[in-house]
Amino acid sequence: MKRIYLITGGERSGKSTYAEKLALSLSPHPVYMATAHIWDEEFRQRVLRHQQRRGAEWSNIEEEKHLSAHDVTGRVVLVDCLTLWANNFCFAEKDELFDTEKVLNELKEELNRFTKQDATFIFVTNEIGMGGVSPNPLQRRFTDLLGWLNQYVASIADEVVLMVSGIDLKVKG
């Protein structure tokens, strides 16, 4: 049963909506694992819009870091999103210049523990490295980290979909 999907694209490209429809096509009662840390009112409103889209058929789990702490064996689980999840690891220590290699290894280890379960995993992530190079060193570091994380997840995924303007483009699988 184990299968891994990666849904990637830019902001407001339709990633989450596509992933939610995919999850519901695979299970009448999927799990929604939200990784967001709510840091301000505007972001809280974004989260509320996502929550309002989902019905009672979803089991909801809020988990900022330790995905593997949850048993999802036999379930379809949508993790939204890897971008915010990675962000939670980067700034856990409040160190602005986080160690990219250390954080990437922590993310991979946690992801490997989580995906050892016999489940269907749908990961949503942002493709933030498609624009120009940022003049901000912290942003460049995070862009590198997320790019490497996305490459890793894509390498272990059975299927990768790139969302562009609400259109799904199958990249792998």
What are the CA-CA distances from residue 73 to residues 54, 58, 93, 160, 165 (Å)?
22, 16, 31, 22, 33
Rounded to an integer, what is the distance from CA 94 to the centroid of its chain? 21
Residues carrying an active site annotation: 50
Query: What are the residues whose beta carbons fall under 8 Å from the beta carbon of 118, sequence distance 6 or more?
Result: 1, 2, 73, 74
Chain center to CA of 48: 17
Angle between helices 15-26 and 41-53 (to 10 degrees): 30
